[in-house]
Amino acid sequence: MNAPRLDRSPVTTSPTWAEVSLDALRQNFRAVRKHVGEGVNICAVVKADAYGHGAAVCARALETEGAPWFGVTGTEEALALRRARIKARLLLMTGIWKGEEDEAVANNLTPTVWERWHVERLEEAASKKQTVFPIHLKIDTGMTRLGASIDALPPICKAVASSSHLKLEGVSTHFASVRDPEKTLRQATLFEEALGILSAHRLAPALVHMANSAAILSRSETWKTMVRPGIALYGYSRTRAAGAAQPGDAGTLLHPVLSWKTRVIALKEVAAGNAVGYGGTFVTQAPTLVAVLPVGYADGFHRLLSNRGRVIVRGSYAPVAGRVSMDLTTVDVTGIAGVEVGDEVILLGQSNGKNIDAGEHARICETIPYEILCSISKRVPRVYLGGG
Strand arrangement of the beta sheet that strand 329-332 belongs to: 266-270, 288-293, 329-332
The domain boundary, picked from 235, 268, 284, lies at: 235
CB 266 within 8 A of CB 292: yes
Is there a domain that residue 13 lies in?
no
For the question of whether the overall pTM of this predicted structure is more than 0.95, the answer is no
Neighbours of 149 (CB within 10 A): 15
Residue type, 185: L
Is there a domain that residue 42 lies in?
yes
Is there a domain that residue 56 lies in?
yes
Average pLDDT over residues 146-155: 96
Average pLDDT over residues 98-105: 97
In terms of domains, do 148 and 201 share one?
yes
**191-205 per-position pLDDT tens digit:** 999 999 999 999 999
Average pLDDT of the chain, as a whole number:
94
Q: For residue 315, give the CATH number of its domain.
A: 2.40.37.10
384 is catalytic: no
Is there a domain that residue 248 lies in?
no
Residue type, 315: G
In terms of domains, do 271 and 225 share one?
no
Marked catalytic residue, from 167, 278, 317, 354: 278
In terms of domains, do 323 and 202 share one?
no
Distance CA 101, CA 105 (A): 6
Average pLDDT over residues 201-216: 97
Is there a domain that residue 15 lies in?
no
Question: Which neighbouring-strand residues pair with 209?
Answer: 172, 226
Marked catalytic residue, from 47, 138, 224, 261: 47
In terms of domains, do 199 and 79 share one?
yes
Model confidence at 21: pLDDT above 60: yes
In terms of domains, do 202 and 98 share one?
yes
Parent domain of 356: 258-385
Distance CA 273, CA 25 (A): 47
The domain boundary, picked from 180, 203, 235, lies at: 235
317 is catalytic: no
CA nearest neighbour of 143 among 106, 114, 102 = 114
Is there a domain that residue 244 lies in?
no
Average pLDDT over residues 382-387: 92
What are the E-state strand segments in the chain?
A: 17-21, 41-45, 69-72, 89-92, 109-113, 133-138, 166-172, 207-211, 226-227, 258-263, 266-270, 275-276, 282-283, 288-293, 310-313, 316-319, 329-332, 344-351, 354-356, 382-385
The separation between CA 134 and the C-alpha centre of its own chain, rounded to angstroms, equals 26
Distance CA 268, CA 235 (A): 36
Is there a domain that residue 113 lies in?
yes
In terms of domains, do 71 and 205 share one?
yes
pLDDT band at 347 (very low <50, low <70, confident <90, very high): very high
Model confidence at 166: pLDDT above 80: yes
Helix axes 181-200, 153-161, angle to 10 degrees: 40
The count of structural domains within the chain is 2
Q: For residue 184, give the CATH number of its domain.
A: 3.20.20.10
Distance CA 310, CA 349 (A): 12
**291-336 per-position pLDDT tens digit:** 999 999 999 999 999 999 999 999 999 999 999 999 999 999 999 9
pLDDT band at 240 (very low <50, low <70, confident <90, very high): very low
Is there a domain that residue 366 lies in?
yes
DSSP 233: G
pLDDT band at 251 (very low <50, low <70, confident <90, very high): low
In terms of domains, do 39 and 154 share one?
yes
**53-81 per-position pLDDT tens digit:** 999 999 999 999 999 999 999 999 999 99
Distance CA 261, CA 280 (A): 26
Average pLDDT over residues 158-187: 96
Three-state DSSP at 268 gives: strand
The separation between CA 99 and the C-alpha centre of its own chain, rounded to angstroms, equals 28
In terms of domains, do 174 and 87 share one?
yes
The number of residues making up the chain comes to 388
CB 169 within 8 A of CB 132: no
pLDDT > 90 in the chain, percent: 91
